[in-house]
Amino acid sequence: MATLHQTPDLFALSDIRGPVLRPGDDGYAEEVTGFNLAAPHTPDVVVGAAGADDVVAALRWASATGTPVAVQATGHGANYPVDSGLLISTRRMTGVQVDPARRTATVEAGARWGDVLAEAAPHGLAALCGTSTDVGAVGYTVGGGLPVLGRAYGYGSDLVRSFHVATPDGTLHETDAGHEPELFRALRGGKHAVGVVTSMETELLPLRTLLGGAVWFPGEHAAAVLTAWTGWIRTVPEEMCSSFALLRLPPVPQVPEPLRGRFWARVAIAWPGDPAEGEELLAPVREAAPVAVDTVEVMPCTEVDRVHTEPQDPFPVRESSLLLHELTPVAIRTFLDQVGPDVPECPLLLVELRHMGGALSRPAAVPDMVCARDAEHLLESVAIVASPSDAEAVEHATAALRTAMTPYGTGRTLVNIHGAPGDTADRARAWTPEIHADLLHLKQTHDPADLLRFGHTP
């Protein structure tokens, strides 16, 4: 097995297959940089793990030396800078093996959802991924994972059958519903609190295509579109997955024409059923206001990125979320007062309301730590923070929106899009008090030295 040893000059390499890099080494900056450029990492050392053995060896060294540990695959969820310690980069661990007979995929820690979809598609199968297939499948799943087709099929973590996970003492566990079930539970919604997942086995869906895309309206019609959408979602089957968003798109080449440099109201949908039925269901939305752009069409599941059209290139981002109950007329008015067309100076790139419920509201078949099943909506905001002045304006707008909408909230967030974790009370908003206490207990059991303390941990 690979080993990592401490030497008088702090670190030395012995048998690790992947690179072990320190600040100043060739490849260090590339290895530590993730998708979110607003959270730059400067660890004392980064291990570019080539496989589970490298992860185990790195954790054993960290445990022996008391070195704090972070883990990163793609860095989409990098909302907290790693400024010391050890960063385990799993970007080389990209293996995906599909078992079409069992309808499962075994996914290594660094594989992206796009990798999984590409392997599954030839078998008429699809993965339950989120709004960007560029996101790491494992990091998404251990945070619960809110899929594009969530109302139809539930959370990403609902489909996981097993994990291979290395705990901070360097022990590799295989855990599922019947073997170390509490550890299995913590890895479905507890994020990276108790260990570093090296691979997972997850179920796949018998699905080749979906009806998806978005209907774009000029932003001045935001109130009419939002009112129509909130009424429409009360009438649709649970398989209809949708969101309402306000977007202030910058005038940059990365934004396609004719969307570039304008303020928009958008309804995005994903429907896994009969396309003709989906089109019929969508008709009232299209009638809410003059439609400027309509991208809704039947698409292969491998092209699900076309539903939400998220940025593909890294950029400095600040995100935040709040889980909500029903959107009452007062809540809608409050929302528009904060980020609607009458607030032209709003610095938030996107503010989105995702329709929850359906399969997302049903209890997991096996106990987990996802605490959003009572929510009817998710409020998410995203902003670019390219300068200190940007950051100040964005923080003010984010805090004001959260404060204004808190009376309509459940009091919790989604751990994957919570944003930069603050103090203990702020971090705890991702879980109910009972589940937070359970997660703390499991962390004390598997990580008593709190080595895995970077990012969103309890």
Provide the residue ranges of all domains of the chain, joining segments of one domain with +.
3-89, 96-206, 209-424
Q: Are 320 and 418 in contact (CB under 8 A)?
A: yes
Residue 18 half-sphere exposure, CB side, CA atoms within 13 Å?
Answer: 25
**pLDDT for 77:** 84
Instruction: State the DSSP string of 296-311.
Output: -EEEEGGGTHHHH---
Confidence of residue 311 (pLDDT cuts 50, 70, 90): confident
Contact present, 373 and 146 (Cβ < 8 Å):
no
DSSP 146: -
Does residue 351 contact residue 246 with C-beta atoms inside 8 Å?
Answer: yes
CATH of segment(s) 96-206: 3.30.465.10
Contacts of 420 (CB under 8 A, 6+ apart): 39, 79, 80, 318
**pLDDT score recorded for residue 5:** 46
Tell me the torsion sign for CA atoms 370, 372, 399, 390.
positive
Question: For 153-178, what is the mean pLDDT?
Answer: 97
146 has a pLDDT exceeding 60 = yes
Least confident of 112-121, 268-277, 381-390: 381-390
- Residue 361: predicted pLDDT: 98
**Tokens describing residue 250:** 């910058």
Per-residue pLDDT reduced to its tens digit, 395-427: 999 999 999 999 999 999 999 999 988 899 999
List, as one string, the DSSP characters of 122-144: GGT-B----S-TTSBHHHHHHT-
Please say if the pLDDT value at position 158 is more than 80.
yes
Q: State the Cα–Cα distance between residues 435 and 332, nearest whole angstrom.
A: 31
The pLDDT assigned to 9 comes to: 40
How does residue 2 score in pLDDT terms, banded at 50, 70 and 90? very low
Which residues touch 308 (CB under 8 Å, ≥6 apart)? 131, 132, 148, 214, 243, 268
Is-contact 99 105, C-beta < 8 A?
Answer: yes
Q: Is the pLDDT of residue 6 over 60?
A: no
Model confidence band, residue 14 (pLDDT cutoffs 50, 70, 90) = low
- CA 384 and chain centroid, separation: 17
CA-CA distance, 227 to 348, in Å (whole number)? Answer: 21
Q: Supply the pLDDT for residue 97.
A: 98
pLDDT for res 255: 84
Quick check: bond before 272 cis, omega within 30?
Answer: no
| CB 430, CB 321: distance < 8 Å | no
- DSSP category for residue 281: H
Residues in the chain: 458
What average pLDDT does the chain have?
94
Percent of the chain with pLDDT over 90: 88
Cβ neighbours of residue 264 closer than 8 Å, sequence gap 6 or more: 216, 217, 218, 219, 245, 246, 247, 249, 292
DSSP 236: S
**CATH fold of 209-424:** Vanillyl-alcohol Oxidase; Chain A, domain 3 (3.40.462)
Choosing among 3.30.420.40, 3.40.710.10, 3.30.70.360, 3.30.43.10, the CATH entry for 3-89 is 3.30.43.10
